Amino acid sequence: MPRNKATPETAADATPEGGKPTLKTIARISGLAVPTVSRALNDAPDIGNETKKLVRAIASEIGYVPNRAGVRLRTGRTNVISLVMSTEHDMMAHTARLISSVASGLRNTPFHLVVTPFFPDQDPMEPVRYIVETGSADAVIINQIQPKDPRVQYLMERRFPFATHGRSEWADRHAYYDFDNCAFGEQAVHKLASRGRKKILLIAPPAAHNYAQHMILGTRKAAAECGAELIVAETVTSDSYIKDIVAYVSETLAANPDIDAIISASTASAMAAVAGLEQNGAQVGKEIDVFTKEAVPFLKLFRADILTTAEQVGAAGEFLAKAAIQAIRAPNDPPMQHLEIPSENGN
């Protein structure tokens, strides 16, 4: 390899005393040309993997940090991808897991992750518009997608690179990763019907989110096929406060003692549903079954008889990172898209 020349330089030899390492420093140590070093650090497709590994190893060893201002002047890019997320409380660390997995997907690339928060009382368009108008990132990743999401429409109109966690009605035109909530709803009802359940309460996501519509569609379709009665909660959602879900489930079961199953869209709402049914003297897996999805295999430690489906949030984040990079580098290529099919957690 180039670094094994007869007279290789060490990091100490190549870096001026008191100075910061530069592309020229890496070039002298590796024996490569400066343009090759630059392209390797920027993950150029025409540079071999072994060369990229060598250059990145040297950069890490000598503490090389690219000059962001210089990069932007040369390329017009910030090398930043912004994950725009709500600050709403997330009990089961779904948000943290998504952030971690997006960051993992950006490892060994020239891109860095910046999390841009917005508040529940804030217009979700504000942070997206700010990023686009200031050019403070090269791409954005957004979630909590609405059917006709104004953020998606805005980003498409301005041809700004983006990827979504969830699908809009224009999903054929943009990059996304989504969990098939329609299939989840069908799977849940069929599983419950196979256990003899006849009257099912669904605690769905907020109706404004597209995945809520998918879930309701799937559960209604399967309930009709199985001859089961479906009740969709109207005053609470899977994002409601836990105390509100507990109270709603307790009151609803008291008024409808023939409800024998509950489907929930999140770990937190499933735990709240269990607390509500136990207030009425019922047991999970006995009088009432609970079926939910979870990003981390946790619920069976809480109650062993809860029925669960895995949602691969880690895979979602890594995919979205790569999809955002492709949207930056190859805007005319077909967008990267993936629909995750749910699978039961060994129930």
Tens-place pLDDT, residues 217-266: 999 999 999 999 999 999 999 999 999 999 999 999 999 999 999 999 99
**Does 127 share its domain with 206?**
no
What would the pLDDT profile of 260-285 be if each residue is shown by its tens digit?
999 999 999 999 999 999 999 999 99
118 located within any domain: yes
Look at residue 18 and tell me if it is in a domain. yes
Indicate the pLDDT class of residue 7, thresholds 50, 70 and 90: very low
Q: Could you tell me if residue 71 is inside a domain?
A: no
User: 1-7 long-range CB contacts below 8 Å, 24 or more apart?
Assistant: 1/50, 1/54, 2/30, 2/31, 2/32, 2/54, 3/29, 3/30, 3/31, 3/54, 3/58, 5/31
Q: Looking at residues 62-90, what average pLDDT do you find?
A: 73
- In this structure, the answer to whether residues 281 and 303 fall within a common structural domain is yes
More confident residue, 106 or 118: 106
Taking CA 329 as the corner, what is the angle to CA 324 and CA 332, rounded to the nearest 5 degrees?
95
Q: Please indicate, yes or no, whether residues 194 and 242 belong to a single structural domain of this protein.
A: yes
Q: Do the domain assignments include residue 240?
A: yes
In a domain, 70, yes or no: no
Q: What is the arithmetic mean of pLDDT over 129-149?
A: 95
For residues 291 and 261, the answer to whether their CB atoms sit within 8 Å is yes
Does 261 share its domain with 325? no
Query: Does the residue 73 lie in any domain?
Result: no
Clarify whether residues 46 and 12 are in a common domain.
yes
> Using CA atoms, how far apart are residues 197 and 308, in angstroms rounded to an integer?
16
Q: Report the alpha-carbon distance of residue 135 to residue 123 in Å, rounded.
A: 19
Q: Residues 339, 299: one domain?
A: no
CATH number of the CATH domain containing 209: 3.40.50.2300
Asked if 227 and 275 sit in the same domain, the reply is yes
| Mean pLDDT along residues 161-171 | 97
**Overall number of domains in the chain:** 3
Residue 114 lies in a domain: yes
d(CA 331, CA 325): 10
Range of the domain at 275: 181-310
Residues 88 and 208 in one domain: no
